[in-house]
Amino acid sequence: LKERNAKDIWHPMAHPADSIANPPEIITKGEGVTITDVDGRTVVDAVGGLWNVNLGYSCQPVKDAIAAQLQALPYYSIFRGTTNDQVIELGAMLADFFKEDGLTRAFYTSGGSDSVEVSLRLARQYHKIRGEGGRVKFLSLKKGYHGTHTLGASVNGNANFRTQYEPLMPGCYHIPAPYTYRNPFNETDPEKLAQLCLAAMEDEIKFQGAETIAGMIMEPVLGAGGVIPPHKRFMPGVRALCDKYGILLIADEVITAYGRTGSWSGSRHWGVKPDMMCTAKAITNGYFPFGAVMINDKVADVFENDKTGKGAIGSGYTYSGHPVGAAAAIACLKETQRLNVKDNAAARGAELFAGVQKLQESHELIGDIRGGEGLMIALEIVSDRATKAPGAKPTMATIQKTAYETGAMVRVSGNNIILSPPLIVSSEDVNTILTALDAGLSAA
C-alpha cells in the first residue's frame, strides 16, 4: 500500500517525492479519540483529524443521521427554485448557535477554502451594492492561513502558500501578526505588541486609502501559522479599526468555531462580533465535507433590501447545502451542545498546556509554547534557544515518529508541533499525549 500510495497519489501540502522518502501512516480505523493504522497500531489522535474531529470517531448519532439521510434523500441542490428540509432545519440551529455573535444568516459551502472564498466575494459585493465599488482590497495577518482558493491564497499570510501561484489577486496586504516570539518590532510584551500591530494596520489603511478596502480577514487564534493567540485587546482593536474605516471584519473560524478555543466561537472568546464568520471543519466533524459562512444583519440587510439586482449572489457550489452534510451538521451541533465540548476543551486544554510547560523545563528543543485557549497548542521547536534557530526537518520528523510509536499522533507544521485533539479527550488521553511528546523530544 505504501508503494502504491507513493506511485499513484499526490498529497496536499507535500512534495510528491516525500511519499517515497517518508511514507505516510495508512489509517484504517478510528474509534473514540484513537486511530489505528494498517499495521494494527492504535494511538490517541492528538491532531483531531485536521483540527476538525472534535467529537471523535464514534459519534453514533452523526453516523445514524447520515445513514438515515442517505436513505431519505442522498442529494438535492438548493440552487434556484429548490431547497431541502435539512438545510432549513440547520439554518435555524446555526442562527441560534451564533446568536450571541450577532450572526443570523447562513450560506452553505463544501469546506473551509470555499467559506473563505465566499466571504471575500460577499464582502466586495456588499460594498458594490452600497455604491462603494472602489472597496476591493483586503487586509489579513502575516502567518494567517485562509485556504488555497485564489482569493484565500491571496490573503494568506504565509508567502510559501502564495509564491508558486502568483500572480494572485492584487490588492491584498498583510499586517504583522501579534506573535510575541518573533516579530519585526522585537516586542515580547503581548499587550504592547498588539498595539504595535494595530498601529501597523491603521497605517496600512491610511496608506491604501480606507475607501479602497473591502474587508479584514483574520483567525481569532491563528492556527496553521503556529497557534498564535493574540492579546485579548487585539481582536477588539481590529473591530474598532474596521468600524472606524467602514471595513468589514471577517472572522475565519474554520478551526475555532464550535468550541475549540473553550468558547463556542473564537470571536466570542475575545468579545467581538464579526460581520461574517467562515466555518467548516467541526461543523460536521469530518463525517462529511461541509461548511457555512455566517452573516450578520448589517451585511444581510444590504443584500436583502437591494432593489437593483446587484444583491443576487454569484457564489455557490453543486454541494452547497448538501442534505447529507446538513443532516450530519445538525447531529454534530446537537452532540456538540449536549456534551458541552467547549468546557472540556478549556479544562483539558489547560491540563495539556501545563503539561507541555513542564516538558519545556527538561527539553531545550522547546523554544516557545503557545495556546492554552482551549485545545489548540503549538510547541515551537528550536535548535538553539538563544538564537531561536528553527528546529531542523529531521528533528521534527524524529519527534513526530517517536511520539507516534509511543502512543500519540501529533502534527508537524514547519518547526511547530501542533496539538489539536478531539474536544472529548479525557485527562488520561492528555497524559498519553504528554508521555508520547516526552519520548519524541528525548529521541530528538
Binding site for ligand PMP (CB under 6 A): 111-113, 116, 145-147, 219, 223-224, 252, 254-255, 280
* Choice between 329 and 444, CB closer to ligand PMP: 329
Shortest separation between residue 118's beta carbon and ligand PMP, angstroms = 12
Residues 6 or more apart in contact with residue 247 via CB below 8 angstroms? 135, 139, 205, 210, 213, 214, 215, 216, 241
Shortest separation between residue 119's beta carbon and ligand PMP, angstroms = 10
Shortest separation between residue 217's beta carbon and ligand PMP, angstroms = 9
Contact by Cβ (8 Å): 284, 59:
no
Shortest separation between residue 280's beta carbon and ligand PMP, angstroms = 5
From the number of C-beta atoms within 10 Å of its C-beta (0-12, 13-18, 19+), residue 85 rates as middle
No. of helices (H) and no. of strands (E), the chain:
15, 16
| Residue whose C-beta lies closest to ligand PMP | 112
* Choice between 219 and 368, CB closer to ligand PMP: 219
* Choice between 349 and 355, CB closer to ligand PMP: 349
Residues 6 or more apart in contact with residue 433 via CB below 8 angstroms? 44, 46, 352, 355, 407, 408, 410, 419, 421, 425
Shortest separation between residue 51's beta carbon and ligand PMP, angstroms = 6
Shortest separation between residue 46's beta carbon and ligand PMP, angstroms = 16
What is the DSSP secondary structure assignment for residue 222, as one 8-state letter? Answer: B
Residue keyed to cell 481590529:
238
In whole angstroms, give the CA distance from residue 277 to residue 84. Answer: 23
* Choice between 262 and 407, CB closer to ligand PMP: 262
* Choice between 56 and 111, CB closer to ligand PMP: 111
Q: Are strands 377-384 and 137-141 parallel, antiparallel or unpaired?
A: unpaired
In whole angstroms, give the CA distance from residue 3 to residue 19. Answer: 9
* Choice between 224 and 444, CB closer to ligand PMP: 224
